[in-house]
Structures are given as structure tokens and as C-alpha cells.
Amino acid sequence: MAIMLDPRFHWERGDGAKRPIVEAFCIALYAGAEAERIILGTSDVGESVDCERATACLAWLGLRGASYVGDDVFDRHEARLRAKARLAVIQHRGAIERVAAALVEHLSLRAFA
């Protein structure tokens, strides 16, 4: 589970447009599970809490053309954000693995596999 400030509770007028902040937040939430899928090669990832937070944040933002959470428009938008998270993990995999190894070495993270 990711620990980040949720824009639903911290965004205020004057902070700029909501959409880029919400999308960056959702991509960061999705990136953890994507990293597990890509680096560990597993589909059994613990992403439910992060996905619930991302879905709630996207619902708060409102998506043009989406009638409700889970309709085709909403699902396509969520899939695009997951693809961006996947691409970020692929592009930064080396750095992610180095950080994970350093955390394992310093006993801040249990070793994978």
C-alpha cells in the first residue's frame, strides 16, 4: 500500500488544475502493483487498497463522458493510467531494483522471493 497525500483531502483552489494532480496520484498508486507484476513476474499482487483509492480519486475528479464508475469511459481512462504506470516501471526498473536491494540490505524491506 502506498502512503501519499490524497488530493481529495488536500487540494485547494489555487493549487492548479485537479486533473494532473489526480492522474499523477493514481499512476503512483498503480505503479506498486505494476512493479510487482513486472519485476517479480506475479499476477498475485496486493493492490486492492491502492486501486480503491485511485478509483475514488478519479470519481471525485469526474471524467468527461463517464456516467458512473466502471463504465467504458471510466475503465478506458483507468487503463491508460495503468499503462503509464507500467511504462514508468519499465523505464525505471534498474533504479527500482537498486532501491529495493538497498532497503533489503538495511532491513527496511523483506527480501522478495
Q: What's the rounded Cα separation, in Å, for the pair 18 and 12?
A: 9
Between residues 111 and 74, which one has the greater pLDDT? 74
Q: For residue 83, what is the enclosing H or E element?
A: helix 72-91
Between residues 90 and 46, which one has the greater pLDDT? 90
pLDDT exceeds cutoff 60 at 112: no
pLDDT exceeds cutoff 60 at 25: yes
Query: Any idea what DSSP says for residue 112?
Result: P
Kindly report, residue by residue over 43-60, the tens digit of the pLDDT.
Answer: 777 778 888 999 999 999
Grade residue 1 by pLDDT with cuts at 50, 70 and 90. Answer: low
Grade residue 65 by pLDDT with cuts at 50, 70 and 90. Answer: very high
Query: Any idea what DSSP says for residue 38?
Result: I
Round the average pLDDT of the chain to a whole number and report it: 88
pLDDT exceeds cutoff 70 at 109: no
